[in-house]
Amino acid sequence: METYCPFLKDEKMAFCKGFPVRKMLPYDRLYHQDNICIKEEHLTCPVYRAKDAERLSGHSSNKKVCPYLEVEEVLFCEVYPVKKMIPSSAFKLECPCTTEAYIDCPAYCQIAQGDRASGETMTVRGFLLDDTVYYHRGHLWLQRVNGKVRLGLDDFGQWLLGDIDKISFPRRKEHVERNKPLLRIRCSHGTAEIASPLSGTLMNANEEVRRDTSLINTDPYGAGWLVELRLAEAELDRLEQGGEGFIATPGARRWLEDEIDRLHGVLETEIGITMSDGGQLIDTLRDVVTQSQWGILIKTFLEN
């Protein structure tokens, strides 16, 4: 038996020490033609100029490479829904990933035991996309299961919410209306109210999620599902024919790409955080936004 998890990967990443949010970039992207970090043009960078007065001795202005450019080797789990990157220098060798205990890890078991086939998910700029489900513009996924439709939050939606403290469901057999409140989710930054994308009768709520809300974050397309609805035929037709607000698998990747670009725009124009285009958004972004800024993100992407 292996003494370390086969899904534990390492990668060399670059980041700006002067930027308030540590946004990591794959090392090989440094050599893109438009990257000024390794050119004399770094002198024109707003971050570099803002830090100019604080430069340490030895950071001469005639260097071709920006003195705030840092390269670090990081470790991450290849199958975990959120790519948490840990500097290899800070990695604890006694963690489950580097011992035989990795076989008890939920993320490992989901792949190894077939709970989630590895070919069913893809990664779009750091976010998981499951190609077996329908998506809704409110960042819910939907899937037909035993005559009902199962709903959950997609990876982008759970990432925006952050740590979830409590989730409130409607009562069993209660009728829910399209565009009316379906879920109330209390998080560390506030409370989000998620509307139902379809009208129907609530048949089941995931009691495991009620007891352990972290399942939404760690396994949004599997154990973290939320509710099951029984729909009228007309509502099923709306879903399967791609009615307003629904996205089928062929167009889901392009839609998620557009949503990530839209997120960059909201962060820059309404919140004041600039992220490099094309990069992956780091998990700790939620730690640098205020409660009101978090509310803007939730209102823009999940509640509208």
> Chain-wide mean pLDDT for the chain?
80
Q: 180 near 247, Cβ under 8 Å? A: no
Choice among 84-98, 187-201, 260-274 with the minimum mean pLDDT: 84-98
Q: What distances in angstroms separate CA 53 from CA 50, 70, 101, 126, 192, one per listed residue?
A: 7, 19, 49, 35, 42
Specify the pairing of strand 227-230 against strand 148-153: antiparallel
What CA–CA distance (Å, rounded) separates 85 from 24? 9
Phi and psi torsions of 145, nearest 5°: -140, 110
What CA–CA distance (Å, rounded) separates 255 from 278? 15
Is 2.60.40.10 the CATH classification of the domain at 116-304?
no
Pick the more confident residue, 147 or 61: 147
Residue ranges per structural domain of the chain:
8-90, 116-304
What CA–CA distance (Å, rounded) separates 193 from 186? 9
What CA–CA distance (Å, rounded) separates 42 from 52? 11
**To which H or E segment does residue 156 belong?**
helix 155-161
Q: 230 near 170, Cβ under 8 Å? A: no
Q: 157 near 302, Cβ under 8 Å? A: yes
The count of C-alpha atoms lying within 13 angstroms of the C-alpha of 198, restricted to the half-sphere facing its C-beta, is 31
Neighbours of 159 (CB within 10 A): 22
* Encoded tokens for 231: 């729909």
Q: pTM of the predicted model, to two decimals?
A: 0.62
What CA–CA distance (Å, rounded) separates 235 from 241? 10
Phi and psi torsions of 164, nearest 5°: -100, 125
pLDDT greater than 70 at residue 153: yes
**Tens digit of each residue's pLDDT (9 = 90 or more) over 274-302:** 655 444 555 556 677 889 999 999 999 99
Q: 228 near 201, Cβ under 8 Å? A: no
What CA–CA distance (Å, rounded) separates 208 from 223? 8
The model's confidence at residue 39, banded by pLDDT at 50, 70 and 90, is confident
**Tens digit of each residue's pLDDT (9 = 90 or more) over 248-266:** 877 899 999 999 999 988 9
Q: 277 near 140, Cβ under 8 Å? A: no
Q: What's the mean pLDDT in 177-194?
A: 95
Q: Which pLDDT value is given to residue 179? A: 94
Q: 159 near 291, Cβ under 8 Å? A: no
Neighbours of 44 (CB within 10 A): 10
Q: Which pLDDT value is given to residue 117? A: 43
